[in-house]
Amino acid sequence: MKKVVCIGEMLIDFVSTDVGTNLVEAEQFLKKPGGAPANVAACVAKLGGNSYFAGAVGNDPFGACLINELIDFGVNIEYVHKVTTPTTLAFISLAQDGERDFVFNRGADAEFSLPHNQTSLLLQNSILHLGSATALLGNHLFESYLTAAKYAHDHKHFICFDPNYREDLWKDKLDVFIERSMQMLSMANFVKVSEEELSLLTGEDDIAKGCEHLHAQGVQYITVTIGSRGCFLSTTTHQSIIPAYAITPVDTTGAGDSFIGAVLYQLSQANLDELTYAELAGYVQLGNKVSGVVCEYLGPMTGLTDFASIQSLDKPLKTA
């Protein structure tokens, strides 16, 4: 089994319990651990995989809370740094359908620095997941992203990239987001995007054509999450929609992270040189199930469960 290395932010999500209100009106909040790459690492570990999280938190109560959460999930925290900058925070309000409104208060995550002499040890026998919402903004974290991505690419490690676009983070800087995303994407074997992200990166509103554009950049495998419809899976030879499971969503925070965490858990045990479309479609289907279960709970990690439990869970597929 390969280890899954996730680099980026871990933060506190303050999720409004005043469902149906926006952040202007919300008054009550629940503290939940979050951060896209940390969510992925927790999912992989909970399913039974070997996951590492590399990032920075503040030397404060929030940082201590986050580290304890990773330990509880079984994530390796050897590369978690404590810094003097306060822990990054996010404030989230929920609409009636579970969709979200975000505001970020960026802090410690930007200070994560991965020395070159530690990169080879961290990435030994690994799949590298680059799925941070904040890494492409710059600072030390972006430099560490580049260091890890270039090392993994040069040494032919399997790389997964999720751009994790957040409009609040990229106001007036969309061209920078696209440029840096394409830089990462050019080194990736596997790319996970939303419909919005695919359109931003390719200029294509048609999913199949957008995927063809990314394949032309060298990406082997692409998953496009399409909400309640499931996931569009594309390789250089096949394309199809893998249906979602029928659920009643409570909170969609972390849905994409748990999806890709479940897929990466399965890829970590696969022969990556001989993946078939059928195998990949099966991995995506299980990812849809894990994601669906997570959406039935408040917070991105609350609904995570082990592999045997998720396999045995009887969930009906959603029909058109």
Q: What is the pLDDT along the chain (320 residues), one digit of tens a residue?
A: 999 999 999 999 898 888 788 888 888 998 989 899 999 999 999 999 999 999 999 999 999 999 999 999 999 999 999 999 999 998 988 776 656 677 889 999 999 999 888 999 999 999 999 999 999 998 999 999 999 999 999 999 999 999 999 888 898 899 999 999 999 999 999 999 999 999 999 999 999 999 999 999 999 999 999 988 899 999 999 999 999 888 888 877 788 999 999 999 999 999 999 999 999 999 999 999 998 888 888 778 888 888 888 888 777 776 55
What pLDDT sits at residue 111?
96
The secondary structure element, H or E, covering residue 154 is helix 139-154
Distance, CA of 153 to CA of 97 (rounded, Å): 39
- The DSSP 8-state label assigned to residue 317 in this structure reads B
pLDDT given for residue 306 in this prediction: 84
Note the pTM of the prediction, 2 decimals: 0.93
Report the pLDDT value the prediction gives residue 319, as an integer from 0 to 100. Answer: 59
At 109 the pLDDT is 96
CB distance 15 to 100 below 8 Å: no
**How many Å separate Cα 110 from the centre of its chain?**
17
CB–CB of 149/130 below 8 Å? yes
Domain 3-10+35-87+107-312 = CATH 3.40.1190.20: yes
| Cα separation, 145 vs 136, whole angstroms | 8
Write down the pLDDT at residue 278: 96
DSSP secondary structure code for residue 88 in this structure: P
The domain spans of the chain are 3-10+35-87+107-312
Block residue for tokens 């899954």? 4
Looking at residue 98, its pLDDT comes to 57
d(CA 53, CA 45): 10
Q: Would you give the distance in Å from CA 267 to the centre of its chain? A: 15
The rounded distance, in Å, linking the Cα atoms of 8 and 17 is 27
